[in-house]
Chains A and B, each alone.
Chain A
Amino acid sequence: MTLLILYSLASLDGLLCGCRTSMGRCPLIRLRPYYARAIVRGFVAAQMASAIAAFALACVVLFTPHRRELVVDLQSAARRMLWIFLPYAAAVLSALTLRLLPSTDIRSASSVFLLGPLTAIRPFLMFAGALFGIYSARLWETRLLGLIVLTLMLSIEAVLNRLATDRQSLQISSLV
């Protein structure tokens, strides 16, 4: 269950990364299809990262001499991570919910005062969550897996951003 929640949070994060890295790169007015594609790209990236993490997890579990102990240790580390990641996700989703209100002032304010700062702290929060999870882990395998997950989570946005930058450069070069 804990792993499933972590996977869901990673998918949500990927989806939002896809959206964020596409912003400011398409100057049309009707942007719904554009953002839908961006969200799908983010979701796919998160699935790829999750698959790599699952593969690493399977390898470690397969080759470790103390499998049962590792599973318990991993579950406990994952639960600790949720203490950081779940409130953050709740804050992000609440800020996004505010954007459904029909007031331009509230919607703008949610962007400036909530989504902006929440985006700013995302990398630090990723570090904090992963480190909090593995800090009191008993096995080095758990720590290693925690660091792999952290690296994957942080790379999603960087990779998507790189790809979006390249796409945009190509598009602008074709225009001018």
Chain B
Amino acid sequence: MFPLSFNPAQPEITDLIVHHDPATLERLPVSKNQVLDTFATFRDHQALAAVRAIPARDAVLDPQAVDRLMLTVHWEMQRLAEEFFHGQRIYELLNVVLNAMQANSMQRPLRVVDVGCGIGYAIRWLAARTPLASQGVELLGVDLNANLIREATRLAAAENLPCRFLQGDAFSAQHAGHIYLSTGVLHHFRGHAFHYLLRRHDLPDTAAFLHYDFRPWALAPLGSWFFHILRMRTAIARHDGVLSTARAYTGEILAASSRNALQDFSSGIYGANIWGTPLPRVFHTLVGMRRNLLPAFRAGLGLRAIRLGEMV
């Protein structure tokens, strides 16, 4: 039934069942009991049932079973992106940012990095459906999870797409991007980790970022629950999908945190509502860019400028 008890303070299942050392990128063993204890604290019976179903060896979650599950979940989650035409939505905004950069004499090649890319839907879509790669835009997906990166690489190769995927730190010197993207990633970072994530965008070459996440509002968990019951098959996708909408940050928090963390950037929310009405969109976008890009960005949006909130 509808999980009214979802507490936004709790983690999602996928946050806990896979761990990689961020420094060495090594896969770390995950204690099944520890994960169960975490969800027991929140009395999240749906999560407890989903985690209990994952096989374990010597009380450690079976890495192969977890990897298979993660692929199933990510394949399924891609459906959400397809149904919401997420690729088109990213391209619509990214293209305006790229044009604004060009208008400010930023020469190509430019690198677009998808942070926490998973199986790389956004980057692969941009590579398959847009001319960006042939126009001097390098498309790179970065994630800590080696299994998801392997899958993203396999899928890109299967369709001969001009993009790359790497396991690692998206903000490290070797992977640093001119533009950062993400989808459904921001709400996974809480407290100081969220502030630190935003601060890390302040790199010498980084000019802009577009972070897409669920837009929270009163009926979002109910709508998400209905959508996931109908469209998703795995217990984990159903659980985490609904919890995400409860954990997602409001536009006000996103914009204020970004302004606080990145004083050399203008930040604001794009696409909070539908066509200037009070109707909320499923996703909104935290947009940030170097201040000199803002006039060209606004001009490039044209009629869509109505979707852009206050940029400070």
Q: Are A30 and B233 interface neighbours, CB within 8 A?
A: no
Query: For window 259-297 of chain B, which residues contact chain A by CB distance below 8 Å?
Result: 274-275, 282
A116-B227, A116-B230, A168-B75 are contacts. A107–B67 as well, Cβ < 8 Å?
no
Q: Are B71 and A119 interface neighbours, CB within 8 A?
A: no
> How long is the Cα–Cα vector from A47 to B187 in the complex, in angstroms?
47
Q: Are B231 and A176 interface neighbours, CB within 8 A?
A: no
Q: Are B125 and A176 interface neighbours, CB within 8 A?
A: no
Q: B246: shortest Cβ distance to chain A, in Å?
A: 18
Q: Verify if A27 is at the interface (C-beta below 8 Å from B).
A: yes
Query: Which size class do B's interface residues fall under?
Result: 35 or more
Q: Verify if A172 is at the interface (C-beta below 8 Å from B).
A: yes
Q: Are A24 and B76 interface neighbours, CB within 8 A?
A: yes
Q: B279: shortest Cβ distance to chain A, in Å?
A: 10
Closest B residue to A29 using CB positions: B128
Q: Are B151 and A27 interface neighbours, CB within 8 A?
A: yes
**What mask results when residues 80 to 96 of chain B are scored 1 for a CB within 8 Å of chain A, else 0?**
00111101110010000
Q: Verify if B121 is at the interface (C-beta below 8 Å from A).
A: yes
- CB-CB < 8 A to A23: which residues of B? 79, 82, 231
**What mask results when residues 142 to 163 of chain B are scored 1 for a CB within 8 Å of chain A, else 0?**
0000010001001100110100
- CB-CB < 8 A to A119: which residues of B? 230
Report the count of interface residues on A (CB-CB < 8 A). Answer: 24
A104-B88, A176-B64 are contacts. A27–B119 as well, Cβ < 8 Å?
yes
Closest A residue to B271 using CB positions: A105
Q: Verify if B74 is at the interface (C-beta below 8 Å from A).
A: yes
- CB-CB < 8 A to A28: which residues of B? 155, 158-159
Q: Are A27 and B83 interface neighbours, CB within 8 A?
A: no
Q: Are B125 and A108 interface neighbours, CB within 8 A?
A: no
Q: A23: shortest Cβ distance to chain B, in Å?
A: 5
A29-B125, A29-B129 are contacts. A108–B83 as well, Cβ < 8 Å?
yes
> How long is the Cα–Cα vector from A89 to B160 in the complex, in angstroms?
39
Q: Verify if B223 is at the interface (C-beta below 8 Å from A).
A: yes
What are 13 residue pairs bridging A and B, where the CB atoms are less than 8 Å apart in the complex?
A24-B75, A24-B233, A27-B121, A28-B155, A28-B159, A29-B124, A30-B159, A105-B274, A112-B223, A116-B231, A168-B72, A175-B154, A176-B147
The 10 closest A-B pairs by CB, nearest first: A24-B79, A104-B85, A29-B128, A24-B76, A176-B67, A27-B75, A111-B83, A108-B84, A176-B68, A27-B78
